[in-house]
Amino acid sequence: MNDMTIDPQLFIGNRTRLNNLMLPNSLAVLNANDIYPTNADGAFLLRQNADLYYLTGIRQEETILLLYPDAHEKKFREILFLRETNEHLAIWEGYKLTKEHAREISGVQRVEWLSQFRPIFHRLMCECDDVYLNANEHKRASIEVETRDARFVKDVQARYPLHRYQRLARFMHRLRAVKSDLELDVIKKACALTGQGFRRVLGFVKPGVSEKEIEAEWAHEFIRHGGLFAYPPIIAGGKNACILHYVENDATCRDGELLLLDVASSFAGYNSDLTRTIPVNGRFTRRQKDVYRSVLRVFRESAKSLMPGKLPKDWQKEAEQLVQEELLRLGLLKPAEVRKQNPDEPALKKYFMHGVGHPLGLDVHDVGITTEPMQAGWVMTCEPGIYIPDEGFAVRLENDILVTDSGPVDLMADISIEPEEIEELMNKDAGRKRSR
């Protein structure tokens, strides 16, 4: 699947929903992300602005979308501006979108070259009352580098200081949190690719292979089917699994260790997110399986409780209570520690220190108004874990769950998670030589 196989009705519908939220006689402008430099004359690959992609399906650099639903003339109500190609660009950078191709992808009927943006924008600024400008307002974002949108905000406010400016991000967070059927189809494809990668890896892992080799197995499965890594893969053997964002992936997998795999595919711009913990030699020890079952029980109960109307913070508290009960059962916490704990620093945080899940979509940690109750159509990860550095291992399990009015739907229900099934699949090939 590529961009052309996503029905443009997805993007047309997204723009319509945004238009319905905007103030009368207002316009909105969204910019593509920059292509960021590395060193010398190098550059990273473009990672498109997720809001622009949500509204257009366009992944090309320097793209601008202008929306003005109440424009006096219909031809000014939505305009897509593209970087115009030439012979030099064609030789050095390859294909750039034609106007016709951009119309097919986005459903935007008026497509102009970037050279026309300034005169058209000035005319419309002279007619509108309010202006919606975009910014990254994710509450965990660490913004050090000025984006194309940020530069545009400064320039527009300097040129037109008397307009009323509005935040577009609040609308985009509300819209993007609720996934349409067309979006869910793409997310399900990403989940399916992730499952294929996991099954491939189960037949590959054994003592002596490196974490990097395992990463290559995932890459082979994703790329050959049109996917990409949704995020830098975490392939963490033994005590490395106690580092939440371990990405070195350069250690050797050893007999008797557990291997934490936080790896998933993106597809056509949409992401999945999976974590599994497997035994390197194909068999859990009794202690490993005991901890695994504790995490699995928390996962099952937490996934089951993802319902419309529940506040994310309450869902987190419920999960923490479940983890605390399991830690007591495992002997990692003592009842006296729980009785004496500071409510602001609960004892369980020593072994479970992160959120139980997050919204998922065009971004892995997707936007959403998480101070409000969940709604049908949200896709949430569910990812409890127990981390025991003193014992040199951790267990985390994660699936992607669709919130619906009739109960949660596990989009990864077909990806093995029961410990016995993991063992069976890892030992399916009787000819494989494993160290015991």
Q: 431 lies in a domain?
A: no
* CATH code for the domain of 153: 3.40.350.10
Q: 223 lies in a domain?
A: yes
End-to-end CA distance of the chain: 42
Same domain as 256, residue 285: yes
Cβ proximity of 327 and 145 under 8 Å: no
The alpha helices in 161-285, defined as continuous H runs, are 169-177, 181-202, 211-224
Q: What is the pLDDT of residues 298-341, one digit of tens each?
A: 999 999 999 999 999 999 999 999 999 999 999 999 999 999 99
pLDDT in tens, the chain (436 residues): 344 379 999 999 999 999 999 999 999 999 999 999 999 999 999 999 999 999 999 999 999 999 999 999 999 999 999 999 998 998 899 999 999 999 999 999 999 999 999 999 999 999 999 999 999 988 888 888 899 999 999 999 999 999 999 999 999 999 999 999 999 999 999 999 999 999 999 999 999 999 999 999 999 999 999 999 999 999 999 999 999 999 999 999 999 999 999 999 999 999 999 999 999 999 999 999 999 999 999 999 999 999 999 999 999 999 999 999 999 999 999 999 999 999 889 999 999 999 999 999 999 999 999 999 999 999 999 999 999 999 999 999 999 999 999 999 999 999 999 999 999 999 986 444 444 3
Q: 88 lies in a domain?
A: yes
Same domain as 202, residue 68: no
- DSSP letter for each residue of 362-396: SSSS----TTS---TT-EEEE--EEEEGGGTEEEE
Q: 386 lies in a domain?
A: yes
Question: How many domains does the chain divide into?
Answer: 2
Same domain as 396, residue 255: yes
- Tokens read off for 342: 């500071």
**Cβ contacts of 107 within 8 Å, gap of 6 or more:** 8, 9, 11, 12, 15
Give the SS3 label for residue 346.
coil
Same domain as 124, residue 251: no
Q: What is the pLDDT of residue 434?
A: 45
- The type of residue at 320 is E
Q: Is 340 exposed, middle or buried (0-12, 13-18, 19+ CB in 10 A)?
A: exposed
Q: 433 lies in a domain?
A: no
Q: 108 lies in a domain?
A: yes
Predicted structure pTM score: 0.94
Same domain as 247, residue 122: no
Q: What is the pLDDT of residue 102?
A: 97
Q: 249 lies in a domain?
A: yes
Cβ proximity of 385 and 395 under 8 Å: yes
Same domain as 187, residue 122: no
What string of H, E and C letters represents the secondary structure of 251-310?
Answer: CECCCCCEEEEECCEEECCEECCCEEEEECCCCCCHHHHHHHHHHHHHHHHHHHCCCCCC
Where does a domain end: 154, 177, 200?
Answer: 177
Same domain as 401, residue 287: yes
Q: 434 lies in a domain?
A: no
Same domain as 295, residue 282: yes
Where does a domain end: 125, 157, 177?
Answer: 177
Same domain as 332, residue 233: yes
Cβ proximity of 164 and 132 under 8 Å: no
The CA distances from residue 10 to 27, 179, 296, in Å, are 21, 10, 36
**Cβ contacts of 281 within 8 Å, gap of 6 or more:** 206, 207, 255, 256, 434, 435, 436
Q: What is the pLDDT of residues 102-124, one digit of tens each?
A: 999 999 999 999 999 999 999 99
Same domain as 349, residue 236: yes
Same domain as 203, residue 151: no
Same domain as 186, residue 116: no
Where does a domain end: 158, 177, 196?
Answer: 177
* CATH code for the domain of 294: 3.90.230.10
Domain extent, residue 160, equals 3-177
Q: Tokens 């410990």 belong to which residue?
A: 419
